[in-house]
Amino acid sequence: MTDILDKYAPIASRHDQLLEVGPDPLGVCLEEIYSATEARVNGRRTILAGTNNYMGVTFEPDCLEAAEAAVRAHGTGTTGSRIANGTYGAHLALEQALARFMGREKAIVFSTGYQANLGMIAGLAGPKDVILLDADSHSSIYDGCRLSGATLVRFRHNDPADLDKRLARLGDEGESRLIIIEGIYSMLGDRAPVAEFAEVKRKHGAYLLVDEAHSLGVMGPNGRGAAEAEGVDEDVDFYVGTFSKSLGSIGGFGASNHPRFDVLRVCSRPYMFTASPSPANVAAALAALKLLERDPGRRDRLWNNAQAIYDRLTRIGFEICAPMSPIIAIRLPDERSAVFAWNRLLEHGVYVNLALPPGTPAGVYLLRCSVSAAHTPEQVEAFCHRFELVARELAAMDSGETAVAAGA
Ligand code: PMP
């Protein structure tokens, strides 16, 4: 019989190749966390610019205190699902706060953002429906689509005309049609043209679901995300969001004005058959949400930092994949230079994400940076300066100098 893990041999051997040139990019250990923007990595004080901590709230006193008080008051875990083992008052309070924040009648919390997509998509769509999803959708969206059993139609990334064409081609197929897009795409940091998608949705009478994972708190006058920023908040039938980025916690949610939205609580398997979010996570998310409502200036600090970094990296000569946003994806010409640059940045005390195929499209090698409102001007300066050093090292590598590898 074949070894059950043999199918992963090609992936394992690519991973081994990465380990030959430096520390494991898929297993970076944050040995001690000093703040939202700094940790000890490989024994070195390191600026964190790859953690999606957009609002930098993970060490906010309000959030820490709320989480600590919740653990003392409600315990370390919920030990079960809400339908089988009971809802905590804090789950309801958070759902009400999220509904208010998103301007919706109802919100439902899930245990992670991944499960929010699974639970929302597989809860909404069934085998008789058609889902139209952006080709660059996050894995949790693809997995939710599979779980739903619906017919899947992929349209070209960020291309409302292609969606329009595919909807027209459907004819009578599908009892309901659900369009799925993201506000800001996690890898390249590009934004969806939500207003154009909303127009297509209206034309065809489809439902629109927007995953605002990376845009929640980041975009829009009230921080609802990209749809709100484009003035088409009302066209969104279903929002999905996560607590793991701007809210500095773990969990996810769906929000909607659909009058029968709550039926998902007894029909959506990823809601029903897993433990509900822990008291600490719920309390931290609620405290962060209140903080964002109280202090919209955080959003300005985030965008100012993103602009400063974007401008400087562009001046250095890096190719950035999308217009300025808090996700800055730098494209390098090949895998060797991407891995080299990522390793050197880590040695210089800067942590960003290394993104290679198959996580990215074929031929796309990225250093993905996520900017935080909590990055100080000194950290922004240090971060940019270290990119300058690495740009020089890359240039030296290109011209065949080997001194760099010795730590010049
Ligand atoms: N949606 C998108 C677009 C994401 O990028 C992610 C996570 N990176 C998720 C959903 C899942 O969120 P979580 O990590 O909170 O489970």
Alpha-carbon distance of 146 to 128, in angstroms, equals 13
* Residue 319 dihedral angles phi and psi, to the nearest 5°: -90, 115
Alpha-carbon distance of 150 to 158, in angstroms, equals 22
* C-beta 353 within 6 A of ligand 1: no
Whether residue 211 contacts residue 138, with contact meaning beta carbons closer than 8 Å, is answered with yes
Q: What is the pLDDT of residues 1-46, one digit of tens each?
A: 999 999 999 989 988 888 888 888 888 999 999 999 999 999 999 9
Is residue 103 over pLDDT 60? yes
115 CA: nearest ligand 1 atom: 16
* C-beta 211 within 6 A of ligand 1: yes
Is residue 406 over pLDDT 60? no
Closest CA to 314 of 380, 373, 384: 384
Alpha-carbon distance of 368 to 385, in angstroms, equals 17
Is residue 384 over pLDDT 60? yes
Question: Going by CA atoms, what residue is nearest to atom 12 of ligand 1?
Answer: 113
Closest CA to 368 of 68, 50, 30: 50
pLDDT band at 401 (very low <50, low <70, confident <90, very high): low
Q: What percent of the chain has pLDDT over 90?
A: 91
Q: Is 386 helix (H, G, I), strand (E, B) or coil?
A: helix
Which one-letter DSSP state was computed for residue 205? T
Best substitution site from 120, 138, 181, 281 to test ligand 1's pocket, by max atoms within 8 Å of Cβ? Answer: 138
Alpha-carbon distance of 200 to 140, in angstroms, equals 24
* C-beta 244 within 6 A of ligand 1: yes
Those residues with Cβ within 8 angstroms of residue 103's Cβ, 6 or more apart along the chain or in another chain = 222, 224, 233
Is residue 175 over pLDDT 80? yes
Alpha-carbon distance of 153 to 163, in angstroms, equals 9
- Let me know if domain 61-294 sits in CATH 3.40.50.300: no
How far is CA 317 from its chain centroid? 27
* C-beta 186 within 6 A of ligand 1: yes
243 CA: nearest ligand 1 atom: 15
* C-beta 51 within 6 A of ligand 1: no
* C-beta 136 within 6 A of ligand 1: no
242 CA: nearest ligand 1 atom: 15
Question: Is the torsion defined by CA of 353, 283, 281, 88 positive or negative?
Answer: negative
Q: Is 186 annotated in the active site? A: yes
Q: Within the chain, which residue ranges are assigned CATH 3.40.640.10?
A: 61-294
Alpha carbon of 386 to ligand 1 centroid (Å): 29
* Residue 165 dihedral angles phi and psi, to the nearest 5°: -60, -45
* C-beta 213 within 6 A of ligand 1: yes
pTM: predicted TM-score of the whole model, two decimal places:
0.96
Upstream peptide bond of 270 is cis (omega within 30 degrees of 0):
no
Alpha carbon of 34 to ligand 1 centroid (Å): 24
Count CB neighbours of 274 within 10 A: 17
Q: Given the residues 137, 148, 186, 372, select the one marked as catalytic.
A: 186
Count CB neighbours of 330 within 10 A: 22
Best substitution site from 143, 190, 242 to test ligand 1's pocket, by max atoms within 8 Å of Cβ? Answer: 242
* C-beta 183 within 6 A of ligand 1: no
Q: What is the pLDDT of residues 238-282, one digit of tens each?
A: 999 999 999 999 999 999 999 999 999 999 999 999 999 999 999
Superfamily of domain 6-54+296-407: Aspartate Aminotransferase, domain 1 (3.90.1150.10)
Closest CA to 184 of 233, 232, 243, 227: 227
Is residue 408 over pLDDT 50? no
Question: Going by CA atoms, what residue is nearest to atom 8 of ligand 1?
Answer: 186
Question: Is the torsion defined by CA of 244, 246, 248, 253 positive or negative?
Answer: negative
Best substitution site from 139, 186, 191 to test ligand 1's pocket, by max atoms within 8 Å of Cβ? Answer: 186
Q: Within the chain, which residue ranges are assigned CATH 3.90.1150.10?
A: 6-54+296-407
Q: SS3 breakdown of the chain: % helix, strand, coil, rounded to 5? A: 45, 15, 40
Q: What percent of the chain has pLDDT over 70?
A: 98
Alpha-carbon distance of 40 to 215, in angstroms, equals 28
For residue 130, the cross-strand partners are 151, 177
How far is CA 69 from its chain centroid? 28
Residue located via tokens 């990465």: 18
Question: Going by CA atoms, what residue is nearest to atom 13 of ligand 1?
Answer: 113
For residue 106, the cross-strand partners are 256
Q: Given the residues 106, 138, 201, 214, select the one marked as catalytic.
A: 214
* C-beta 370 within 6 A of ligand 1: no
Mean pLDDT value across the chain: 95
Alpha-carbon distance of 37 to 16, in angstroms, equals 29
Alpha carbon of 341 to ligand 1 centroid (Å): 26
Burial class (CB in 10 A: 0-12, 13-18, 19+), 69: middle
Whether residue 130 contacts residue 259, with contact meaning beta carbons closer than 8 Å, is answered with no
185 CA: nearest ligand 1 atom: 3
pLDDT band at 358 (very low <50, low <70, confident <90, very high): confident
Closest CA to 129 of 207, 52, 184: 207
Alpha carbon of 300 to ligand 1 centroid (Å): 23
Closest CA to 224 of 260, 197, 251, 256: 256
